[in-house]
Amino acid sequence: MSGRSARLTGMSRELTRRRLLQGAVALSLTGCTPGPTSPSREQTSARTKAPTGARTAAPTGVRTATPPSVAAAPGPTRADWRALAESIDGEVVRRFDADFDEVRVLFNPRFDRAEPLAVVEAASAADVAEAIAFSRRFDLVTRPRAGGHSYVGASTGSDAVIIDVRRMHRVRYDAGSRLATVGAGAGLYAVHTALARNGRSIPTGTCPTVGAAGLTLGGGLGVDNRQHGLTSDALVGLTLVTADGRTRVVDADHHRDLFWASRGGGGGNFGVVTSLRYQTHAARPMGFFLLSFPWGRAPAVLRGWARRVRSMPRSTWANLHLDASSGSTSVRIVGVCEAGDEDAQAAAMQREIGIDATSESTFRRSFLDGVRFLGGGSTSARTSFAAGSDVLAGMPDELAHTLPRIVARRAAHGGSAAVILDPLTGAVGDKPVDATAFPWRRHLATVQWYVGLPLHPPTTTVRAAQDWIGGAHRAIAGTSVGAYINYLEPGRPLAAYYGSHLARLRRIKAEVDPHGIFSSAYTV
Ligand SMILES: Cc1cc2nc3c(=O)[nH]c(=O)nc-3n(C[C@H](O)[C@H](O)[C@H](O)COP(=O)(O)OP(=O)(O)OC[C@H]3O[C@@H](n4cnc5c(N)ncnc54)[C@H](O)[C@@H]3O)c2cc1C
């Protein structure tokens, strides 16, 4: 089986084997929920279509700085592409190549219309440097890609050159230092299986196929956050190929600004990451508690949950789901804790809320079974969705009433949606706010607005989902302090994701990518 075929067993092929619903249920379990809003064709690319593929124009809102000397660069010829392919260990897959469709698509089929010029499947940092040099020579839009789960399709683009790092997926563990070195293109389930062989783990999100690079660069929310911090908090260094073609080792002692920016500053901004180094923690069996409550008591459940996630042991994590499904509504909590502690944690949560759950389920899983349970399996099917986020500083009474109303409104129109609150409490708050680019360390939770869609949804369906998300933003505008960069949405100002860190991120970007090689509507 070729490397590409092997990789596809994890994503595209699954599409034919697994039902869409299965994926959607798995995702909604813990907050492993996707969600972009349908970008227009222009939004998926930083340039308009031109036969040569040379960068000629950018849509509104895209900040590019094309140097005059290269603005008129002729596009690459077939011989140029061949030379690029011969200069790298990986592969260059171009339009009209038989497997182009396989390699160009992202997790969310809503971005299937994007037709890159080529996907460079880079096998090493040297390959990445060659691809960047090629892009610069012909002034081509360049997009890094790892797992392909961007909510806005930021890792593709019509007429862009995609630098795909999924061939770099090796996971190595050094028992002496207890550090893991992870290829930037490794999927999260692969990371967990490799590290679990050594009894170790890193904090990650729950979706099995999300890429290590994309997740980490934006922060990384998941069930270990309260005990071990964000995925990016476990990062001790990375290897980054920058626009000048240099391969830089970035850590606390080298390129410190880039190290700061790479922990929460978001993917795609500063270059192409080829590997990431993390401190690890012991992989332990997990306890689970799943609690459902009467919908009519949702405000009390929200208030109680908000108190509990500030005071419960750090080894316990719990998120809260408000769901609308075909006209009905539900409120539930998914908790993860030390194996053996699940009954006590379920009881403590109910005590704090002051209401008995209408259904309660507690159980234990070995570490990897727990990872699979959270992720809905060891892989995930491609799924269409629209989503967005807000960040909450607290849970004032008014908000606890507004959130269920937003969901009830969707249900009243027969629609389905999920509102998922993930806690930012515990270890996330241990670091000073300015320690990394991730700005939300003194806050209660992220809230994700998620609408699952048919695989290839009609525009009206997408628009209805986007309207509901837009309405949700407006409804809580008074209490939202921002949004989570890994749940990007079109049309949202970048300041919403970065807060006061945006100015520093822009300074770093200007230094390391002065000609905007990696610039798009979604980069700083
Ligand atoms: C089904 C699903 C479940 C999710 N669950 C969670 C979750 O539990 N917790 C959570 O925090 N987030 C979650 N997310 C959000 C996810 O973290 C982000 O979408 C993340 O950016 C995806 O990374 P990726 O590598 O898979 O995506 P990609 O689309 O490949 O990349 C995302 C961004 O990073 C850039 N990028 C990719 N590779 C590189 C690289 N090597 N160097 C530099 N930049 C790069 C891309 O250009 C793009 O801008 C989920 C998303 C989905 C779709």
Mean pLDDT of 70-87: 86
Q: Are 298 and 408 found together in one domain?
A: yes
Give residue-wise pLDDT tens across range 156-210: 999 999 999 999 999 999 999 999 999 999 999 999 999 999 999 999 999 999 9
Number of domains in the chain: 3
Is the minimum distance from the CB of 268 to ligand 1 under 6 angstroms?
yes
Please choose, from the candidates 147, 61, 67, 43, the residue with its C-alpha nearest in 3D space to the C-alpha of residue 515. Answer: 67
Can you tell me which atom of ligand 1 is nearest the CA of 165? 41
Domain boundary among 135, 164, 193: 164
CA of 342 to the centre of ligand 1 (A): 31
Q: Are 308 and 444 found together in one domain?
A: yes
Report if residue 292 sits inside a domain: yes
Q: State yes or no: pLDDT of 380 exceeds 80.
A: yes
Is the minimum distance from the CB of 486 to ligand 1 under 6 angstroms?
yes
At 73, the pLDDT band (50, 70, 90 cuts) reads low
Q: Check which CATH number belongs to the domain holding 452 and give it.
A: 3.40.462.20
Q: Are 209 and 356 found together in one domain?
A: no
Report if residue 70 sits inside a domain: yes
Is the minimum distance from the CB of 211 to ligand 1 under 6 angstroms?
yes
Q: State yes or no: pLDDT of 154 exceeds 90.
A: yes
Helix and strand counts by DSSP (H, E) for the chain: 18, 19
Give me the domain span that covers residue 434.
286-365+382-483
Report if residue 524 sits inside a domain: no
Q: Are 136 and 185 found together in one domain?
A: no
Mean pLDDT score across all residues of the chain: 89
The per-residue pLDDT for 356 is 98
The per-residue pLDDT for 74 is 80
At 242, the pLDDT band (50, 70, 90 cuts) reads very high
Mean pLDDT of 335-355: 98
Is the minimum distance from the CB of 371 to ligand 1 under 6 angstroms?
no
Which of 55-69, 133-147, 210-224, 423-437 is least confident?
A: 55-69
The per-residue pLDDT for 304 is 98
Q: State yes or no: pLDDT of 7 exceeds 60.
A: no
Which of 34-38, 88-92, 169-173, 403-407 is least confident?
A: 34-38
Can you tell me which atom of ligand 1 is nearest the CA of 220? 11
Give residue-wise pLDDT tens across range 53-67: 333 323 322 233 333
Q: Are 349 and 413 found together in one domain?
A: yes
Q: State yes or no: pLDDT of 15 exceeds 50.
A: no
Ligand 1 pocket test target in 204, 217, 321 with most atoms within 8 Å of CB: 217
Q: How far apart are CA 160 and CA 519, in angstroms?
A: 11
Q: Are 243 and 255 found together in one domain?
A: yes
Q: Check which CATH number belongs to the domain holding 105 and give it.
A: 3.30.43.10
Q: What are phi and psi of 163, to 5 degrees?
A: -100, 100
Can you tell me which atom of ligand 1 is nearest the CA of 487? 15
Q: How far apart are CA 413 and CA 71, in angstroms?
A: 50
CA of 210 to the centre of ligand 1 (A): 6
Q: How far apart are CA 118 and CA 163, in angstroms?
A: 9
Q: Are 157 and 175 found together in one domain?
A: no
Give 402 or 69, the one with higher predicted confidence: 402
Can you tell me which atom of ligand 1 is nearest the CA of 147? 26
For 450-487, the three-class secondary structure string (H helix, E strand, C coil) is EEEECCCCCHHHHHHHHHHHHHHHHHCCCCEEECCHHH
At 34, the pLDDT band (50, 70, 90 cuts) reads very low
Is the minimum distance from the CB of 147 to ligand 1 under 6 angstroms?
yes
Report if residue 123 sits inside a domain: yes
Report if residue 248 sits inside a domain: yes
Q: Are 160 and 175 found together in one domain?
A: no
